[in-house]
Amino acid sequence: MHRRQFLAASLATSVLTLASESSAQPAADRAREFYQVRRYNLVSGPQLKLTENYFSNALIPALGRMGIGPVGALKLDVGEQTPAYYLVVPSPSVEALATLDLKLAEDQAFLGTAAPFWNATATAPAFQRVEISLLAAFAGWPRLTSPPATATKSKRIFQLRTYESPSNGDHVRKVEMFHSGEFAIFLNAGFHPVFFGDTLIGARMPSLTYMLSFTDSAELDAKWDVFRNDPAWKKLSASPRFAFDQIVTNITNILLSPLDCSQI
């Protein structure tokens, strides 16, 4: 079996249990999406154009044929180890995301268009490494929500934040904190949240990841100032339920901009 197919099959085996468990949940929970977040580590030069063409001409159209989207295709602007591209792939089915590469390998139209990237050799690789995380949407924000600027292809940036907790109990409390008023504080401050996801499979667990959208970095700074000074946030963050211990011990914060092919 090809290495890529073996890896996809291994991921599928790991998460099919999650799919069966989710089917036993109440209807409101089953409505929640799952997200595959991919980071493509690249080097400057031909890899950048090759990968962007792969997203635009092969991968995103193939995902559309599977009924998967909207897909975020983003360039890392501020963060460690640039250059890198990110993909955010939403689906109502965890199994669809777990078996994604296996399904792509059965799509002959995809394989024909993807060939320069898909069949790149060790002497001229298409990328350095790909890191993949699988997330489950928060119950309180069950769907990816594209910013209004997407429809008009207006200027927009995205902030991707990952919170790592020191224990599973602290992680559960941080997720609870979002559902105890933090969503409303974001909206009152004028943020445009895109998604909130709990990490099912990925690095540095337990963790959660969420994405926000802004017009530019000036708006980002202004909105965070409003958030930090909101009396509701000060009250929530001082609550004994959430403040008695440090429930987040590390935050990864990166800024991204959409590639031309991005659907968000």
- Regarding whether 125 and 9 lie in a shared domain, the answer is yes
Instruction: Check the CA dihedral 218-221-142-10 and report its sign.
Output: positive
% of the chain surpassing 70 pLDDT:
89
- Regarding whether 131 and 172 lie in a shared domain, the answer is no
Q: What is the pLDDT at residue 107?
A: 97
- The pTM (predicted TM-score) of the whole model is 0.87
- Regarding whether 235 and 193 lie in a shared domain, the answer is yes
Contact in structure between 114 and 59 (CB atoms under 8 Å)? yes
- Regarding whether 227 and 175 lie in a shared domain, the answer is yes
Q: What is the pLDDT at residue 244?
A: 83
- Regarding whether 187 and 64 lie in a shared domain, the answer is no
Q: Which residues touch 141 (CB under 8 Å, ≥6 apart)?
A: 178, 183, 193, 195, 196
User: Considering the chain, what is the average pLDDT of its residues?
Assistant: 90
- Regarding whether 184 and 208 lie in a shared domain, the answer is yes
Is the pLDDT confidence value at 178 over 80? yes
The length of the chain in residues reads: 264
- Regarding whether 59 and 98 lie in a shared domain, the answer is yes
d(CA 150, CA 260): 11
Per-residue pLDDT reduced to its tens digit, 117-175:
999 999 999 999 999 999 999 999 999 999 999 999 999 999 999 999 999 999 999 99
Residue 44 lies inside a defined structural domain of this protein: yes
Residue 142 lies inside a defined structural domain of this protein: no
Q: What is the pLDDT at residue 9?
A: 43
Enclosing domain of residue 190? 149-258
| Residue 248 main-chain phi, psi, to 5 deg | -130, 120
Residue 263 lies inside a defined structural domain of this protein: no
d(CA 178, CA 154): 29
d(CA 98, CA 7): 10
No. of H helices and E strands in the chain? 13, 8
For 250, the token pair is 């590390």
- Regarding whether 130 and 13 lie in a shared domain, the answer is yes
Q: Which of 85, 111, 137 is the last residue of a domain?
A: 137
Q: Which of 114, 137, 160 is the last residue of a domain?
A: 137
Per-residue pLDDT reduced to its tens digit, 13-72:
443 333 333 333 433 445 899 999 999 999 999 999 999 999 999 999 999 999 999 999
pLDDT mean over 110-117: 98
